[in-house]
Amino acid sequence: MHPKRPLFIHIAASLLCAMLLSPQIQAGEAKPMAEDPIVEKRLIHISEELRCLVCQNESLASSRAELANDLREEVRKLIAKGDSDAEIKTYLVERYGDFVLYRPEVKPLTWVLWFAPFILLGLGLIGMAVYLRTRRKLPIQRHGLTADQRRQVQTILNARDNP
Amino acid sequence: MIIEIGHFALILAACVALIQGTLPLMGTWRQDGQWQALAKPTALLQFALIALAYGTLTHAALIDDFSVKYIAGQSNTLLPVPYKVASVWGGHEGSLLLWVLMLSGWTVAVAVFSQRLPLPMVARVIAVLGLISAGFLLFILITSSPFERLIPAPADGRDLNPLLQDPGLVIHPPMLYMGYVGFSVAFAFAVAALLSGRMDAAWARWSRPWTVVAWMFMTTGIALGSWWAYYELGWGGWWFWDPVENASLMPWLFGTALIHALMVTDKRGGFKAWSILLAIGAFSLCLLGTFLVRSGVLTSVHAFANDPERGIFILILLALVVGISLTLFAWRAPKATLGGEIGLVSRESMLLANSVLLVVATAAVLLGTIYPLIIDALNLGKLSVGAPYFNAVFVPLMVPVIFLMVPGGIAHWREAKLQSLARDMRLPATAAIVAGAAVWLFTDRGTALTGMGIGLAVWVVVGLLVQIADRLKKPGRIAPSFWGMHLAHLGIAVVVVGITFVKGYEEERDVRMAIGDNVTIANYDFTLREVTVVDGPNYKALQAAVQVFKNGQPIEVLRPEKRKYFSSSMPMTEAAIDYGWFRDLYVAMGDPIPGDKQQWAIRVYYKPFVSWLWGGAVLMVLGGLLSVSDRRYRNTKKTLAA
Amino acid sequence: MKKFLIPLALFFVLVVFLAIGLKRDPKEIPSPLMGRVAPAFTLPTLDPNAPAFDPQQMRGQVWMLNVWATWCVACRQEHPLLVAFSKANQLPIVGLNYKEVQAQDLQQGTQPDTAQTLAIARQKSAAWLQRFGNPYAVSVFDLDGRVGINYGVYGVPETYLIDQAGVIRYKQIGVLTPEVLTEKILPLVKALNAS
């Protein structure tokens, strides 16, 4: 009998319990990746309208590319500094050009882009109205059967009546 | 050796396609029945030859023949068998071979299922399809042959892009191509109608089932692509307005317009020229899509080949096919006769509005997709057009289209009384307004936009229920196409509900988790239990086990992974999803976070009603199926020969 | 019946645009910094004992700023050309080492400070330049990439030509080729030196 063994076992058991229980004790609510959720919300809002430059076609918000990470970090700094959304976008356009904007600005260069669909719709609806109106005035052509076709019909009908 | 047989078979197929494309057509001009009769056998022969060629390529993939350059680029010894089969269409050259295989398959289908059609018509349709096929076959043989050899053969292939090693690859492209190619049949019918000068209701009647089936495949392909992006890319997005996605959406929109316009041409003989134009347009958009994706003019996550030489060839093919058909249209369409009377308020005018709206929506998507290209070509700089533009423009255009589903179904042909229409729409309108207001005002985070979305969906659903109830009161058999229409419209409403709820109410938490940490969304709790290393057939993965609780009860363990494929340096995220009828729970694993405590970046999403997006698509396809099963398309009585 | 020709006409316009588009590279983004003064910065150099570098120090001469990193595979491609170019011409080249220290260089689970990161960066690039040749009059370190952002850097390598007044005159996106050097850069240098 070793007097130490029971003590050792007790200590070992306590340690084991502590190890098993500690995740529950130490674990808790997972912390958000973002340092500041309010800044983060604005970041997402702004970066959804910006393009990831190294990706093939993704917004800055969703891209996981390294440059995208860096640019998001930059935007966070600007938000913390107190810049407005427009100022932040201008900051990036100054460095990367219009291409960085995922939502194209409404300026003379993009008037066609933004307004053409609705102008087209207007034209389409007007055209439709004009078409429907003028159509009613046209005589309706009625298709008659040619003599040949009449004979063919008769042949078929005769065949049916006489199995 | 076998690959060379395949190559030779494809060359023969191109020759047969040229014969198929010319002789039957000349037969119709010369009134030569024998030449016209060449259409069906040449179609069958072409299919057999292309199938042989395709078979040799698949065979090479299955036996790991890396002396074939294409297989070496797409496949790998460690690749599981289904992906070896799918790798055949994983790259540019092979996917084009799949395209022509399907085109020849559809041509055979037309040859087999057109017993009722007069021979000259069949001859023309098959000839047009033959010419298109010849164009693609020449493109493949001259610029994009999958049969090239790689000497010396590498010991192992480069492997399929890890993003593509997924069941989605096995089914999404084939479905999509079936749709793209299917619209060529509608196109061929339209061109045949122009050539024959017979642009009457009969043409529309014959063309309708083919168009609907193509549309069904297209819907399936787009929905599968969206679903695949959703679960594969790792952050639960399902539509990005990527140029390649737009390339599939545009023909779908036109195809929808075509299906509706054909109803008028079929039943009332109206809109003949318009239907033909829509059919030409739908297929042109398919070809345009092919060009955009494979020529390198646009940046896209999907871009296949960025080869200007190939781009030139496709552009020439596009210019010829569409240019010639539009010239034919300008020449012949004016001779199309007018159909029956159309009142200002009538089913026809509603369907016309449907066409106008869908065409404008397509134009908007096209404009947004190629605007950067136009600005660059004019040397005005570089700008980009992304999702914010498309969402802002497309949604307002689609709302009236969906709205019109109800009056369009209720209105009578020829003349609809505004008063009775309004009376019938009272119930759907009330229900819609009540539902929309309730969602806006009484749900947490409800907005006017979400209210409108739900209101629109309720409008459609109550509207179709009212129509069904009214129809059931009347005597007589109800045609399957009636159910088909309402089922398809129901599908759209379901998709609208899905989009509204997901966009309006989804939640995301981007957190750092250590073992035992938890995060809560709605009444779901996610706890990280453990992180282990897992070995896959051709990858090694870090797998997290996340226990999900609902209201305290454990319901599921989700296992997201971060995979490192042996053949690639890109790490891949495999999200874990708990699918549900009314919500999806989505967990994705990020990188381990450097620091003294073992932590990982984990993203957790709560996506309400997201499966209604794909569920709605299923309903649409079923609706289409019911429509084509209608007996009048299977009427075996012979029509009068032209 | 002219209206039936409208679809054909529209299609023709579309094809023309697509044809022109085939000649363009959609991924190439021109720099909005052309013709503007090169953004200021102060960054440490390869030599720990030397003072920090500022582009102001280069006023009065035409010079090149080459953005590179040892992890950049394409930079290796253009490097021999840069080395030869530096020997043959009197044009000083400043190397902007971009985000040299990556996650895999750091020990798992540690958070190094700036001094440590700089030391690692200096060590890695010194070894690399020793091995492949050093064309740079000065080498500076942009560890977190913020100077790169100011210059609109979105990929590596990139090269800027800056004139005597500190104005950016040319930006090369991607690898430098002999053609670009002889056809674009050298003539520009000559013109700038003459004025």
Residue B198: how many other CB atoms lie within 10 Å: 16
Does the pLDDT of residue B501 top 60, yes or no?
yes
* Sign of the alpha-carbon dihedral angle for A70, A72, A73, A79: positive
Closest approach of A91 to chain C, Cα-based (Å): 9
CA distance A93 to chain C (A): 8
Domain coordinates of chain B in residue numbers?
1-165, 201-414, 425-505+616-642, 507-609
- The candidate with the shortest Cα–Cα distance to B499, out of B298, B226, B209, B97, is B226
pLDDT category at A12 given cuts 50, 70, 90 is: low
Query: How many other C-beta atoms lie within 10 A of the C-beta of residue B455?
Result: 24
Picking from A70, A74, A96, the nearest residue to C152 by CB comes out as: A96
- Crossing angle of helices A85-96 and A37-47, rounded to 10°: 50
CA C90 centroid distance within chain: 19
Q: Is the pLDDT of residue A1 over 90?
A: no
The whole-angstrom distance between C148's CA and the closest CA on chain A is 10
Which A-chain residues 86-125 have CB contacts (< 8 A) with chain B?
97-104, 109-110, 112-114, 116-117, 120-121, 124-125
Q: Do A96 and C151 touch (CB under 8 A)?
A: no
- Rounded Cα distance, A60 and A71, in Å: 8
Instruction: Quote the percentage of chain B above a pLDDT of 70.
Output: 97
Local structure of residue A65 (DSSP, 8 states)? -
Q: How confident is the model at residue B177 (pLDDT cuts 50, 70, 90)?
A: very high
Which of C30, C99, C149 comes nearest A95 by C-beta? C149
Supply the CATH classification number for the domain B507-609. 2.60.98
Name all domains of chain C by residue range, CATH numbers in brackets.
38-45+52-194 (3.40.30.10)
| Cα dist from B322 to B1, B185, B313, B317, B485, whole Å | 38, 14, 14, 8, 31
**Residue B465 CB neighbours (<10 A):** 15
Per-residue pLDDT for B637 more than 60? no
Give the whole-angstrom CA distance, residue C26 versus residue A110. Answer: 18
Report, as an integer, the average pLDDT of B97-105: 96
User: Which neighbouring-strand residues pair with C43?
Assistant: C53
Sign of CA dihedral C145, C146, C148, C152: positive
**Over 90: is that where the pLDDT of B621 sits?**
yes
In the predicted model, is pLDDT for residue A146 greater than 90?
A: no
**Mean pLDDT across the stretch B294-317?**
77
Closest chain B C-alpha to C59 CA, distance in angstroms: 30
A26, pLDDT greater than 60 = no
The chain A residue lying nearest B394, using CA atoms, is A117
pLDDT given for residue A25 in this prediction: 41
- Interval B583-612 mean pLDDT: 88
Element (H, E) at A93: helix A85-96
Please determine, for residue C10, whether its predicted confidence score (pLDDT) is greater than 70.
yes
User: Is the pLDDT confidence value at B630 over 90?
Assistant: no
Tell me how close the Cα of B384 comes to any Cα of chain C, in angstroms. 10
Going by the DSSP 8-state scheme, the letter that residue A36 receives in this structure is: -
What is the arithmetic mean of pLDDT over A92-121? 92
Does the distance separating the beta carbons of C145 and A67 come in below 8 Å?
A: yes
Is residue B639 pLDDT above 60, yes or no?
Answer: no
**Location of structure tokens 């938490």:** B509
pLDDT of residue B437: 95
Mean pLDDT of the B378-406 span: 93
Report residue B173 as tokens: 């492209």
On the question of pLDDT at B490 being above 60, the answer is yes
What per-residue confidence (pLDDT) applies to B269? Answer: 86
Residue C8 near chain B (CB below 8 Å)? yes
Confidence of residue B232 (pLDDT cuts 50, 70, 90): confident
pLDDT tens for residues C96-155?
A: 999 988 776 766 556 677 888 888 899 999 999 999 999 999 999 999 889 999 999 988
What residues pair up with B586 in beta bridges, in sequence order? B577, B605
Binned at pLDDT 50, 70 and 90, residue B138 comes out as very high
- Output the six-digit token pair for A139: 């005589």
Structure tokens at B68: 């074939």
Q: What is the pLDDT of residue C117?
A: 85
Chains that touch C (3 or more CB pairs under 8 A): A, B
Please say if the pLDDT value at position C78 is more than 60.
yes
Q: Are B360 and A117 inside 8 Å of each other by CB?
A: yes
Q: How far apart are CA B555 and CA B547, in angstroms?
A: 8
Output the pTM of the full model: 0.89
Residue A35 in tokens: 């340092």
pLDDT at C85 over 60: yes
The first and second tokens of residue B255, run together, are: 């195809």
- Which positions ≥6 away from B340 have C-beta within 8 Å? A140, B268, B269, B270, B414
Sole residue written with tokens 């030569």: B32
pLDDT at B193: 94
CB C148 within 8 A of CB C174: no
How far, CA to CA in Å, does B94 sit from each of B151, B611, C116?
A: 19, 32, 51
Q: Is the peptide bond between C157 and the residue preceding it cis, with omega within 30 degrees of 0?
A: yes
Q: What percent of chain A has pLDDT over 70?
A: 77
Q: What is the pLDDT of residue B552?
A: 85
Residue from the list A24, A101, A133 with its beta carbon closest to the beta carbon of B516: A24
Chain C positions touching A53 (Cβ under 8 A) are 29, 154
Whether the per-residue pLDDT at B76 is higher than 50: the answer is yes
| CA–CA separation, C103 and C118 (whole Å) | 14
Q: C172 exposed, middle or buried (CB, 10 Å; 0-12, 13-18, 19+)? A: buried
Calpha distance C161→C89 (Å, rounded): 14
pLDDT attached to residue B330: 94
CA A12 to each of CA A5, A6, A23, B268: distance values in angstroms, whole numbers, following the listed order: 10, 10, 18, 90
Residue B25: predicted pLDDT = 93
**Sequence-ordered list of residues with C-beta below 8 angstroms from that of A138, at least 6 positions apart, any chain:** B338
pLDDT at position B301: 61
- In eight-state DSSP terms, residue C89 is S
Mean pLDDT of A41-46: 90
Residues in chain A: 163
Strands B507-513 and B599-608, bridge-based pairing: antiparallel
ipTM reported for the complex, 2 dp:
0.88
Q: What is the pLDDT of residues B335-364, one digit of tens each?
A: 887 777 888 889 999 999 999 999 999 999
Query: For residue B318, which residues of chain C lie inside 8 Å, CB to CB?
Result: 15, 18
Is A7 a residue whose pLDDT tops 80? Answer: no
**Report for A124-138, B207-221, B554-568, C131-145: range of highest mean pLDDT:** B207-221
Residue where the block lists tokens 């670009």: C180
Q: Quick one: what percent of chain C has pLDDT higher than 90?
A: 48
pLDDT digits (tens, 9 = 90+) for B252-296: 999 999 999 999 998 888 889 999 999 999 999 999 988 888 887
Beta bridge partners, B23, equal none
CB–CB contact B299 A56 (8 Å)? yes
CB B69 within 8 Å of CB B32:
no
Q: Is C104 part of the contact surface with chain B (CB cutoff 8 Å)?
A: no
Quote the pLDDT of residue A18: 53
Residue B323: exposure state from Cβ atoms within 10 A (0-12, 13-18, ≥19) = middle
Q: What is the pLDDT of residue A27?
A: 63
Compute the mean pLDDT over every residue in chain B, rounded to the nearest whole number: 90
Instruction: For residue A115, list chain B residues with Cβ-Cβ distance below 8 A.
Output: none
Q: Supply the mean pLDDT for chain A.
A: 80
For range B107-114, the mean pLDDT: 93
| Burial class of residue C139 (count of CB atoms within 10 Å of its CB; 0-12, 13-18, 19+) | buried
For chain B, give the longest Cα–Cα distance: 86
What's the pLDDT at B636? 47
B584's enclosing H/E stretch is strand B583-593
Cα–Cα dist B616/B491, whole Å: 4
A107-136: average pLDDT: 92
* Tokens matching residue A102: 């995922």
Q: Do C8 and B329 touch (CB under 8 A)?
A: yes
Q: Give the burial string for B230-267 (b: 16+ CB within 10 Å, else e).
A: bbbbbbbebbbbbbbbbbbbbbbbbbbbbbbbbbbbbb
Per the CB < 8 A criterion, the answer to whether C55 and C40 are in contact is yes
